[in-house]
Amino acid sequence: MGSRAVRRCAAAVCLLLFPAFFGCAQTVLLKDDFAAYVSRLQPYLCRADLPDLPEPPDPPGPAYPPPPAYEGLVNLYESVFDLAADFFGVYAYVERDGKPFLLDLGGNLLEISENNPIFHSTMSDITVENVVYDRAIVRDRNGFLGIADLAGGQLTGFLYRSVEIDKNAAIGRAAGYTDVYLNDVLLYRLETENVRLWSARFLNVDGAGVELESGLPLTVGGYPVFHPPSDGRILFYAPDSYLFGYADARTGEPVIPPRYLAGSDFYGGAACVYEPDPYGESGIGYPKILDKRGGVLFDFSSYRGRYLPDALRVHFLYEDYIVFEAEANGRPETGLLRFTRGGADALVLSEARVLEDDVRPYGGRVYGGYLVDRDIGRFYDVSSRSFAAGEYESILPYENLFLARRKAADYTLLDAGLKPVIERCASISHAYGILTVGNEIGYSYYIPRPPSFR
């Protein structure tokens, strides 16, 4: 396939995954546009009959300078690249001397140039939707999805309406059924589309937990599991009442009986639950924060008259703070519950307050003592109860760092004290725990030094 044909494959892969409530993302992207050069992987990913090829030596070309050194970051490779995309598992796409390569974590380069048989693809009607854990989700001309590996092999047919991948596990949903894969092998077919991939070990099938490899239901104390273990507790439900409770993840014994209409996972030693309220307008009571023994740490009914129960959104406990969002008379408000830890790591409420300032917290949590406003690109200091100096187009927390885009359309990387680790760069993004940084001398990969946010 010639270079003109390669360019016609533009915008095939976007890798735009953002953190969501009760979820997380593998890739966060701040670059304006990198689909054009990642899309050159398309024929590579769609090659079905490619034999195993030996890894070639590093290509000839100009001497590349070492990456810049930054305090708090460890660079992964000895020299920079002309162009680089985020890792999508073990591999990343890079360019040197005008040639495209796959770069692995060990620093080995596999050339994917026009002279490579990878590019002699006849499947030009296929587009790459995403690359996750070194597996490509590909779409055919009829709109159906399949999965291909980075050796170009088609792992599944084009059968599915949607696909999920987590490490070495995958599911494909079609009309009336879901296929379950492990290590690129079809394990079994479920006669339902209502399946979610919890992790590489567990599924949720029609609202109940299932062990992925065996396909057997997950139960604790005779109750179906609703969520996988989190912070030493397992969320289960009683089938007769569909009320929720919690079991000890180590023993499997119920420790909080099933009496809640809804419940979150435990995180940081706390969970949020809702009791039924047959006399309320919505049928749901005010949320409560529980400790791991079932004790009530905070009851949001103390805000009765200010908020309705179903207008409250309560987030997980991070850094001893729980952030909640609500509406009061049509106006959005943000509040904080602050906890201290006593003996045996027991939680004690030390403060509950609604912020006077209008803050829309990114990620629903505190990061290093700050809320990150998702709308105006500013840091809010929860101790001083005020906005910190500096305003950005966007801010993305990552580990113990902040990736920020300035209004001048360049980027900076800040530490937990908001001091620059990277004063200025052309682009910065992260995926799978690795930062990709672009500047005037090229692209480099880094990992942050500990400690990280809890």
**What confidence category does residue 75 fall into, taking pLDDT thresholds of 50, 70 and 90?**
very high
Q: Rounded distance, CA 336 to CA 193, Å?
A: 39
Q: Rounded distance, CA 261 to CA 278, Å?
A: 11
**CB environment 179-216: b (16+ within 10 A), e (fewer):** bbbbeeeebeebeeeebebbebebbbbeebbbebeeee
Peptide bond connecting 451 to the previous residue in cis, omega within 30 degrees of 0? yes
Query: What is the residue-averaged pLDDT of the chain?
Result: 83
Tell me the CB-side half-sphere exposure of residue 253, using CA atoms within 13 A: 3
pLDDT over 70 for what percent of the chain? 81
**What confidence category does residue 195 fall into, taking pLDDT thresholds of 50, 70 and 90?**
very high
What is the CA 112 to chain-centroid distance, rounded?
29
Task: For the chain, give the secondary structure using H, E and C.
Answer: CCHHHHHCCCCCCCCCCCCCCCCCCCEECCCCCCHHHHHHHHHHHCCCCCCCCCCCCCCCCCCCCCCCCCCCEEECCCCCECEECCCCCCEEEEEECCEEEEEECCCCEEECCCCCHHHCCCCCCCEEEEEECCEEEEECCCCCEEEEECCCCECCCCCECEEEEECCEEEEEECCEEEEEECCEEEEEECCCCEEECCCCEEEECCEEEECCCCCECEECCEEECCCCECCEEEEEECCCCEEEEEECCCCCEEEEEEECEECCCECCEEEEEEECCCCCCCEEEEEEEECCCCEEEEHHHHECCECHHHCEEEEEECCEEEEEEEECCEEEEEEEEEEECHHHCEEEEEEEECCCCCCEHHHCCECCEEEECCCCCEEECCCCEECCCCCCEEEEECCEEEEECCCCCEEEECCCCCEEEEEECEEEEECCEEEEEECCEEEEEEECCCCCC
At CA 46, angle to CA 212 and CA 12, rounded to 5? 95
429 neighbors 419 (Cβ within 8 angstroms): no
Mean pLDDT of 216-242: 94
Residue 39 scores a pLDDT above 50: no
The pLDDT value recorded for residue 30 is 35
Q: Per residue in 335-361, pLDDT tens?
A: 999 999 987 779 999 999 999 999 999
363 neighbors 388 (Cβ within 8 angstroms): no
Name the pTM for this structure. 0.79
Tokens 């850094």 belong to 319
**What confidence category does residue 246 fall into, taking pLDDT thresholds of 50, 70 and 90?**
very high
46 neighbors 152 (Cβ within 8 angstroms): yes
The pLDDT value recorded for residue 280 is 65
Residue 191 scores a pLDDT above 50: yes
Q: Per residue in 401-436, pLDDT tens?
A: 999 998 878 999 999 899 999 999 999 999 989 999
The pLDDT value recorded for residue 151 is 66
Give the N- to C-terminal CA distance of the chain in Å, as an integer: 48
Q: Per residue in 135-165, pLDDT tens?
A: 888 888 899 999 987 766 778 989 999 999 9
User: Could you count the other beta carbons within 10 Å of the beta carbon of residue 60?
Assistant: 8
448 neighbors 439 (Cβ within 8 angstroms): no
At CA 284, angle to CA 283 and CA 288, rounded to 5? 160
Query: What Å distances lie between residue 50 and 115, 137, 367, 434, CA to CA?
Result: 14, 18, 46, 29
Please name the amino acid found at residue 317. L
Residue 19 scores a pLDDT above 60: no
φ, ψ for residue 41, nearest 5 deg: -75, -15
Residue 17 scores a pLDDT above 70: no
